[in-house]
Amino acid sequence: MSESLYQEIILDHYKNPHGRGLREPFDAESHHVNPTCGDEITVRVSLDGEKVADVSYDGQGCSISQASASVLHELLTGESLDEAFATEAAFTQLMQGKGQVEPDEDVLGDGIAFAGVARYPARVKCALLSWMAFKDAAARALSGEEK
């Protein structure tokens, strides 16, 4: 059942989320909502110079949106901001690729399990929810630092 959508990796992240919960200190946060289904997520970014020291999050939503936030935490924490934005861009490209994009495991790690989600247009938004919130929060954290 749902072989291509509900990969084991996704279910694992859903049942045992990594890094869930909002943590202090943080430099910026962003709250995103999926208006069609009501899923919500808050993402906080904590920077240490050019490095992403922590990405923390909390929210409610389906297995896809929650697992995706867990993968995001795992991938981006500890990366440089440039790397984090590159990873974000790769994940977004995979999700918007309608199933035609071949994911790079070196860049996306467990994120490659979401390749099948790209074939379900109604679920792409779920997968991208936390990533869009991260992008927002990181941009805010950066502009805050430049002040």
Which residues of this protein are in contact with another protein, per CB under 8 A? 1-2, 5-6, 11, 36-40, 60-64, 66, 120, 123, 126
Token pair of 70 as six digits = 């867990």
Owner of token pair 């992403």: 52
Q: How far is the CB of 90 from another protein (least distance, A)?
A: 24
Q: How far is the CB of 68 from another protein (least distance, A)?
A: 13
Residue 36 or 100: the one with the smaller Cβ distance to another protein is 36
Residue 12 or 83: the one with the smaller Cβ distance to another protein is 12
Q: How far is the CB of 1 from another protein (least distance, A)?
A: 6
Residue 94 or 126: the one with the smaller Cβ distance to another protein is 126
Residue among 75, 74, 62 at smallest CA distance from 120? 62
Owner of token pair 């950066």: 142
Reduced to 3 states (helix: H, G, I; strand: E, B; else coil), residue 10 is helix
Burial 84-105 (b: 16+ CB within 10 A, else e): bbebbebbbebbeeeeeeebee
Residue 9 or 81: the one with the smaller Cβ distance to another protein is 9
Token pair of 49 as six digits = 């110079």
